[in-house]
Chain A
């Protein structure tokens, strides 16, 4: 057996173009493609990659205006022993555990109902459900803050006409987080409905025809045909909504400022306070890295568990 190096050494006069590395050759051959992706890549590096690296470095430093100081793992030690971070993490995890399954289920059910409606009606509902997603989260939170007002809010007014209340929706630590969650629960997940509808349209009609021949009920078709074939979409929606839920900020910021007490303190709101109120950018970076690590772990776990028999 003769290996490649022996073959090269046996070649008395290697050809000139052999000196060019194959990778370089490939790069040259596809150079126009690289020219086209270069601007986006450069911008991505400047505005995403470099800040992420910088933030990672900052997590091991104490931010000082006159020059940062290396503190090793001190910021991470502080984060992991900080009771406020623990509380924020518990709140965020509770929010995620409730909001993600209900959001996915709600989108799936609504999309399944819409799918059987005429195209015009579908279009109307797609728009109607998607519209709240276009509105600013701040505006929506402010409207809900008024709805929840303990003295003059819509909810307490309605409940009052039936002799109930008034309830301290946002002003009691016992109900504030669930009230924020209720806002999310009562809002239609328009974007996810559209994703599900698009995925449902891609399911071949023949599969339903075969099920009809076998005498399957509508629920059996939905359970045995639709649901399994929507698995890639469900996985995508689950992972993106987990990431979104872990990053909950606006409603806590606008509606409760993390209170009363720490009852609605979320991890991202805590990071925001640490960075922009306390100017502790090193500590804030460490908090962000811990959050990112948790999100990555959960996403990878989900991907592994749910993507075993996913067809793409």
Chain B
């Protein structure tokens, strides 16, 4: 009995020492306020964020989170001004900007990324936040382009929809040709299979270029590689759809993305086009308004599909970018650690499982699993996520993109050969590659 008492005392002593050491450890951690800014998200996702901040505060006594919601209209300017004034937030959602990296306003996250994290994030996703060998933001989600199909037009022409949203180039082309038709018999085409355009900052057609392995830049070698045979195949296919097979909306290259969207949703003059998953909600809203009689028109019977696969049979996806949380420069090492912890907490796989579906995008890490299981429009897109290609992280990307797009416009309008357009693009961007 006496021995038991001694053991108990010893255990209590060790326990209390551990607790006191633990509390010393916790006390050494930084306490104070973290300024968090983010752009507007769907209401449910914003609620999730606020809950996550609350949980983080509970896990870190003494840490307070001050949340500021930016606007899409003036948020970028507000962020720029705050950085220019040396008063940026501590952390910002969608705050990754190349100028911020180049001008030393952001913290690299490399020291806080574990081997597990590196293994968990999709490789291409990580590449989208990597510059000069360092990672500059915590990837949160992937925004992808998907192919939208008007199922009614497919049914009208007796064209089968792609099974599981997967198809090869030949299957896709054959479908688009069958979907190009003169409905009223006046000798004029009323419906085209596909609609696309080359417009600066809109990379929708690039999935066709990526399919056979084509890429725009080799970021490691800082080289223009859009003139590689793999890339040219994709560009040729797009041009052929307009001029040889005549199954794409004429004027591609001179159209805007709004024109193409309009042709799909309003005039119903194309059966397929490519855009981000974010617009599914606007199609759903359209159908709802038609159902309620708020607007005239017909509901759209929407189905999504992947880009046609290349010869290697792998799925392919293209995306305009990766949603992420960027940490701004911190003077205090202890605070930096807590802010990084917060970024990691928001972007953790478990959290992505909950919030990513609310935003209508795809998780950036594998551990989040298939968040779209059972969703008729997005489930079959998930396998393509890990093959997604995003715009290269190059400081002059905006300018490079514009020069490439404007030359591709001329190629797809048959004003220039593909070869001439790519040579001119390469010549123009040569000096932009240096930085």
Binding site for B on A (CB under 8 A): 64-66, 83, 149-152, 160, 166, 168, 170-174, 176, 256-262, 273, 277-279
B233 at the interface (CB under 8 A from A): no
CB distance from B198 to the nearest CB of A (A): 9
* B183 contacts chain A at the CB level, 8 A cutoff: no
Contact between chains at B105 and A171 (CB < 8 Å): no
Give chain B's interface residues, CB within 8 Å of chain A.
Answer: 80, 83-84, 86, 99-100, 103-105, 188, 199-201, 249-251, 253-256, 259, 263, 267, 269, 398-399, 402, 406-407, 409-410, 413, 415, 428
- B103 lies within 8 A of A173 (CB): no
Bound CA–CA A279/B76 (angstroms)? 11
Q: Do B250 and A259 touch (CB < 8 A)?
A: no
Query: How far does the Cβ of B275 sit from chain A's closest Cβ, in whole Å?
Result: 17
- Ranked nearest first, the 3 interchain pairs of A and B with the lowest CB-CB distance are A171-B254, A171-B251, A260-B254
Contact of B188 (CB < 8 Å), options: A160, A170, A261, A278: A160
With both chains docked as a complex, state the minimum distance between the C-beta of A274 and any C-beta of chain B, in angstroms. 9
CA distance A152 to B267 in the complex (A): 9
How far is A183 from B298 in the complex, measured between Cα atoms in Å? 33
What's the Cα separation between A171 and B100 when bound, in Å?
37
State A152–B192 Cα separation when bound (angstroms).
13
State the Cβ distance, B433 to closest chain A Cβ, in Å: 15
List B contacts of A258 (CB < 8 A): 406
B103: which A residues are within 8 A, CB to CB? 64-66
A256 pairs with B105, CB closer than 8 A: no
CB neighbours of A174 from chain B (8 A): 415
Give Cα A201–Cα B289 distance, bound, in whole angstroms: 55
CB-based contact B250/A168 at 8 Å = yes
- Give bound CA distance, A260 to B259, whole Å: 14
User: Contacts of A277 on B, CB cut-off 8 Å?
Assistant: 201, 398
Secondary structure of the A contact surface, majority rule:
loop
Q: A173-B410, A273-B402 are in contact. Are A151 and B269 (CB under 8 A)?
A: yes
Contact between B84 and A261, CB atoms less than 8 A apart: no
Tell me how far the C-beta of B265 lies from the nearest C-beta in chain A, rounded to whole angstroms. 14
| B269: A residues at CB distance < 8 A | 151-152
B413:A173 contact, CB within 8 angstroms: yes
Contacts of A273 in B (CB 8 A): 402
Known A65-B103, A173-B415, A279-B99: A260·B253 in contact at CB below 8 Å = yes
**Residues on B with beta carbons closer than 8 Å to the beta carbon of A279:** 80, 99
A170→B259 CA distance, assembly (Å): 12
Give Cα A256–Cα B86 distance, bound, in whole angstroms. 38
Beyond A261-B406, A261-B410, 10 additional contacts (C-beta under 8 Å) are A65-B80, A65-B99, A150-B250, A151-B251, A151-B263, A151-B269, A172-B251, A173-B254, A261-B407, A278-B398
Instruction: Report how far A166 CA is from B250 CA in the complex, Å.
Output: 10
CA distance A213 to B230 in the complex (A): 84
CB <8 Å contact, B249 and A151: yes
Q: Which of A66, A170, A262, A278 contacts B254 (CB 8 A)?
A: A170
A274, closest chain B residue (CB): B399
Whether the Cβ atoms of A65 and B100 lie closer than 8 Å is yes
Query: In whole angstroms, what is the CA distance A278 to B401 when docked?
Result: 11
- CA of A262 to CA of B255, assembled, Å: 14
Which residues of the partner chain A approach B104 to less than 8 Å between Cβ atoms? Answer: 66
Determine which residue in B249, B255, B399 has the highest number of CB atoms from chain A within 10 A of its CB, and name it. Answer: B255
